[in-house]
Chains A and B, each alone.
Chain A
Amino acid sequence: MLEIKNLHARIAEDGTEILRGVDLTVKPGEVHAIMGPNGSGKSTLSYILAGKEDYEVTEGDILFNGESILEMAPEERASAGVFLAFQYPIEIPGVATMTFLKSAMNAQRKARGEEELSTPEFMRRVKDKAGELQVTMDMLKRPLNVGFSGGEKKRAEILQMALLEPSLCVLDETDSGLDIDALRVVAEGVNKLRSPERSTVVITHYQRLLDHIVPDVVHVLSKGRIVKTGGKELALELEKNGYAEFVGAAA
């Protein structure tokens, strides 16, 4: 599904190197967790996967379903099935959430040569998924993310993911800002999407999310490299002992 090979990347503007040789392979159906100290490059990695222009890949490659996506525009990657739930979802003033959802779904369908969704079909799907994620009609009518609380923003991200049905889901600290109940709702939403064809990368600082979304593999990213990989028990270990041991190893 996803193969990241010796990925080096820097900030395009000032040349600061952020990723220094990331290797990561995620097979179909697997859930991988990426943990690591603040500033270690987790969000950067997710942005680079999604194709953000602020970063320059200087070495290595990213293969998605066996093919390099480095030359693909962000919207092409999206239509190919890459989804990123943002750590800080962006406000889109003036555009009702509902309108945004419909535009995004139809844009992806168009790019894949599929028919546009009819309005009733679209409504059916939205109502369905919004219900599951406890996203209210009122929220769907409001401009996307504008004035949404932290938790509402995260739920809106997962709603988009559920509707777009990507094959690679990257969740960047989706748990931050969620209260305990919302965390369960969101985690259930993510689990529902788990399937043998779909891979998930969960970036998080906390074990509590991984209690709900149980990962197959856990990685520790430090200073732009994966310094440790293990099973789900690695997260528990980190929770207890912190990163000191691994961060030291990377230096």
Chain B
Amino acid sequence: MPAVQETIDRVRSIDVDQYKYGFFTDIESDKAPKGLNEDIIRFISAKKEEPEWMLEWRLDAYRRWLTMTEPTWARVEYPPIDFNDIYYYSAPKTAAGPKSLDEVDPELLATYEKLGIPLREQEILAGVEPKNRVAVDAVFDSVSVVTTFKEELKKAGVIFCSISEAMREHPELVRKYLGTVVPVTDNFYATLNSAVFTDGSFVYVPEGVRCPMELSTYFRINEQNTGQFERTLIIADKGAYVSYLEGCTAPQRDENQLHAAVVELIALDDAEIKYSTVQNWYPGDSEGKGGIYNFVTKRGDCRGKNSKISWTQVETGSAITWKYPSCILRGDNSRGEFYSIAVSNGCQQIDSGTKMMHLGKNTSSRIISKGISAGRSQNTYRGLVSAHRKASNARNFTQCDSLLIGQDCGAHTVPYIESKNATAVFEHEATTSKISDDQMFYCQQRGLSGEEAVALIVNGFVKDVIQQLPMEFAVEAQKLISISLEGSVG
């Protein structure tokens, strides 16, 4: 059984008012006081027993952040965020460095169970073919609770652990790569993340190694008013391959919660990284109350020649999504891909897309974006494709399709193309369509309910992207999309 399939199977309705994952786990947590100042950063760093250089790195980021202002160019609206009204550190109290699952708070395990994550290795081992196994690194609020499959990965030489642990166990790797794709100064939220990030995943796949299983992180925000600032760093050394899955849920709350993650991917010569996300944070209620602000910076660096980075995302949750998983195509012959399904319903706002920055020679990229808007939501694709002066023979193909359900939603496409090299060939195709009343009636005349009809048409609309997902995610993703659109017709 794949990691999240059970979860989704159990999902009956994730209608904006009945968010299935909206339970709250009552666990005592270890929190830093509200607000942000240098002491809080020192507190976080000390809690995590970080080396001195890391603290300095954070403090630099913080000082830099104080001089920055929030970006306003995205097509999203929300009241100002009070950054001093947030807890920047929250850890389940008993979870300080569990050595095995038996040491993990049973309440916590129960929560994961509700989420359908088979944390217990034996469960996973029981029902699953070896090649389909998924190693899970679960992030509960700020601390990575336990990492399964670590031993087997170790045998292959793959390092898969929380970033805090990596900082202690593999400081040379972290120091060498952290912040090299998303610099500390990159943007308001990435800089904030650099100052206060609490945990996240770290993956290193050594030269020539094909990671023997899919790696997966399951994020969950539990604590009230807790910003979740994870930091993920994935390195595929020369000729290595890794596929990484990220799934996210959050409990239901009235207040908005801030989520500002940074993900950095580095692919060296001939390496390939496939990063898939199924994002299902609480979207807020039908009036737009509550929900997650998902302000994320994700970027991959095809640093080596012939390297490849592929992003696939299925975004159905969050009140506001601000997210542009991008590729820097630095190595010659490198390739970047972005496959996206962004579903908005209720009062959700999505401003998402990608940047493909062609720097090396003979680099290619492909963008397939499928936006689905329903309810009163707004869904924007924003993408940049650029070719550097030296990027001869850069190729891009972009296909950007929007599907509207109902009268009150909006879909917007904002493509930017910047080519400084005459040999670049960039193609862009865009379509906008609507599920018409006639299509609905036709399907219903054949026996499909309104919701089945929408699901059928939507699944047809997104299938090019679904095909890019690892098998174990594809079915769930499809169901999740249908569920997210429940209540969008009739």
Q: A: which residues have CB within 8 A of B?
A: 50-54, 73-75, 78-79, 83-84, 86, 89-96, 99-100, 103-105, 107-108, 111, 143, 160, 164
Q: Which stretch (B8-16, B269-277, B438-446) binds chain A?
A: B438-446
Which residue in B438, B447, B459, B461 is a CB contact (below 8 Å) of A107?
Answer: B447
In Å, the complex CA distance between A92 and B437 comes to: 12
Which residue in A75, A93, A160, A164 is a CB contact (below 8 Å) of B449?
Answer: A75
**Size class of B's contact patch?**
20 to 34
> In this assembly, does B457 line the interface, its C-beta being within 8 Å of a C-beta of chain A?
yes
In Å, the complex CA distance between A95 and B461 comes to: 8
User: Closest CB of chain A to B458's CB: distance in Å?
Assistant: 9
Most buried by B among A83, A90, A94, A95: A94
Q: Is the CB of B447 within 8 A of A79?
A: yes
Q: Which residues of A contact B441 (CB under 8 A)?
A: 50, 52-53, 74, 90
Q: Which residues of B contact A74 (CB under 8 A)?
A: 441, 444-445
Q: Which residues of A contact B461 (CB under 8 A)?
A: 93-94
Which residue in B437, B442, B457 is a CB contact (below 8 Å) of A89?
Answer: B442
> In this assembly, does B50 line the interface, its C-beta being within 8 Å of a C-beta of chain A?
no
In Å, the complex CA distance between A175 and B351 comes to: 49
Which residue in B433, B436, B442, B452 is a CB contact (below 8 Å) of A103?
Answer: B452
Can you list 7 A-B contacts (CB < 8 A)?
A75-B448, A92-B456, A95-B460, A99-B460, A103-B448, A108-B447, A164-B446
Q: Is the CB of A75 within 8 A of B460?
A: no
User: Closest CB of chain B to A54's CB: distance in Å?
Assistant: 8
Which residue in B438, B448, B459 is a CB contact (below 8 Å) of A104?
Answer: B448
Q: B: which residues have CB within 8 A of A?
A: 433, 436-439, 441-450, 452, 456-457, 459-461, 463
Chain A residue nearest in CB terms to B448: A107
In Å, the complex CA distance between A160 and B443 comes to: 12
Q: Is the CB of A164 within 8 A of B442?
A: no
Q: Which residues of B contact A75 (CB under 8 A)?
A: 444-445, 447-450
Q: Which residues of B contact A103 (CB under 8 A)?
A: 448, 452, 456
Q: Which residues of A contact B437 (CB under 8 A)?
A: 53-54
Q: Is the CB of B433 within 8 A of A93?
A: yes
In Å, the complex CA distance between A91 and B445 comes to: 14
Q: Which residues of B contact A79 (CB under 8 A)?
A: 447
User: Closest CB of chain B to A144's CB: distance in Å?
Assistant: 9
Q: Is the CB of B460 within 8 A of A86?
A: no
In Å, the complex CA distance between A75 and B447 comes to: 4
Chain B residue nearest in CB terms to A170: B445
Q: Which residues of B contact A91 (CB under 8 A)?
A: 439
In Å, the complex CA distance between A94 and B437 comes to: 17
Q: Is the CB of B447 within 8 A of A111?
A: yes
Known contacts A74-B441, A100-B446; 14 further A-B pairs (Cβ under 8 A): A53-B441, A73-B444, A74-B445, A78-B444, A92-B439, A94-B463, A95-B460, A100-B456, A103-B452, A104-B448, A105-B447, A107-B449, A107-B452, A111-B447
